[in-house]
Structure 1
Amino acid sequence: MSKFYLSLTIFTMLIIMSACGENSDPSSVETESSEGNNDAVEAAGDEREGWPETFIFGLLPIEDQGELMKRHEPLISYLEDELGIDVEFYNATSYTALIEAMANDHLHASTFGPFSYLVAHERADAEAFAIPVSEEGGTAEDIYYYAQMITLEEHNIDALADIEGQSLAYADPASTSGHLFPKAMLINELGLTLDNVDEFPSDVVFSGSHEASLYSVLNGDVKTAGVCSTCIELVFERVEDHENFDQLKVFHESEPIPGGPYVIKGDLPDSFKQAVKEAFLTMGDSEVGQEFLEANEYHGGFFEIDHDTYDVVQETAEALGMSPEELLE
């Protein structure tokens, strides 16, 4: 009997020891698993270190701000989903305001015209990373657009020389296609100089945007205006009912200009800049992203670019003898 109890005691102890061993193993596994999760979280945290809590994106003032906001609303939802942070728009009244806001860390990214981008690159450490294409299935050649001179048929303006003595509207002092390329055309093709080019028309005004310049011509406030080809195409539906729309014509066009870039501030973390770039380059894969592309007629999505794309614009600025300070005036 004593041997029986001894065996039973030993058997019981073995069961208890086995149970304790089993209980300790899950504890050990759980600890290892927990440590693994913490490492993953810390790794993700390291990758996103320095990211802004809210991504501030500036809007280029090429048209009515209400319409601009409406067309860009899907972009907020798309970027918030892709980046995992809040996104807000920064509304500016001029290119200069956007540049100064970026230089003072009030916004992280924006769209710019080619010339204003050069200023933003120098003044605000802006880096070009993508450019939209309007043609579905477009190629790298489709990143270019034109500066156009427009008028009404009734004014009998058919060439740059006919601008002499007529009123002329530019969009914004730092606008590539709405001011600088049109002015360069007058200088290069008519033999004018920086000293007398603004005296060639009877009057020169700055309307503030391409759409405002278009309306200035349609309403008869000025005889002619310099505008961007793609910007005007965006607003045709809103102006086609204007009584003078059928008289509107393009009488001169520039050489190809690289389109306005999407840019980001250079001192942001590389991981964030890469995430933003990838979000734009793959926008067509998202339903919400596609909504933004369609609303803005970016049927070809976005192409990757860099600063070298704007060498031709830099050369034009130098030909005009215009410094960044003069571009902002």
Structure 2
Amino acid sequence: ITTAHNLIAAMIDNSLQQGNELNLDPRRIVWRRVMDLNERALRSIILGLGGKANGVPRESGFDITVASEIMAILCLSTDLMDLKERIRKIVIGYTYDGKAVTAGDIGAAGSAAVLLKDAVKPNLVQTLEGVPAFIHGGPFANIAHGCNSLQATRLGLKLSDYFVTEAGFGADLGAEKFLDIKCRLGGLTPSAVVIVATVRALKMHGGRKKTELAQEDLAALEKGMTNLEKHIENIASFGLPAVVAINRFPTDTEAELALVEEKCSRLGASVALSEVWEKGGDGGLDLGRKVMEACGKRSSFRFLYEPSLSPKEKIGKIAREIYGAAGVTYTDQAEKDLAQIHELGKDDLLV
């Protein structure tokens, strides 16, 4: 993914060097380079220094590979040819008169797809107990959709009676994008959702300091439960049953665990202790049974919004219904970006 991404970047700079036939404005190239390492000194750089033979000087920078658009679209592609078509449509910059230029315009789609011909295939691995698992893709949930590849999920569904996949960053960020984006584009209908929580984290939400989390504190736990309750509410809004998996720590008391179970039960979510870190698969048997029970319940899966809504309407629904916001205030730059999206005819894209 790093190589394919940087190939496109190299072809952009080569296009500038070879006479700029596409009339690209070097100040409006939005395709940066990536590397699989956090390196703050390279976030903003000037490249092309050293004379005519080294290219056209311009401002640019590096992002981390998991933030690459290639990573995101690989995880949403159905096969290699679909991936190639998605690469072709990537907007890499704008001309001096404001027209969008794509990776297809600079002739990079085919070459990038060839570099990804093996990467597009799911990786089959196994757990310590021999359970098969796919490790394939990792787009950031805060800037992309935070889910593994659609191909791995579809393959897993073909090979098992129950298939578990992860949506990172909680039921407000990762799960919303998994349900509204990945499930919509992949034609997937989930049977149930597992929300992972810890007593320690809930007490922190209730105001306890990290150094105090080993002490029983039912008041802080009850106060912090509002966070978990909102996650359960979010999942219910999609019409899906929820199971809360409590990753148990040695410092959790019976009273604290009972409080979490009581609160969750009131909202219609079942609760199971997860002790797999200590006991391996045996520590997740109760969780597995409750997930199977939840999968057997009737559900009415639905999306939060329709693609036909305007970007502001979609953003507003997510902000209000998932995050509990009263409304959304846009910066001047955000307004400009939304205007650009409208001019490109992309108002129907998912958020």
TM-score between both structures, scaled by the size of structure 2: 0.27
Where relative contact order (Cα < 8 A, 6+ residues apart) is larger, the structure is 1
Instruction: State which structure, 1 or 2, has the greater radius of gyration over its C-alpha atoms.
Output: 1
User: Hey, which of these two has a bigger chunk of helix by percent?
Assistant: 1
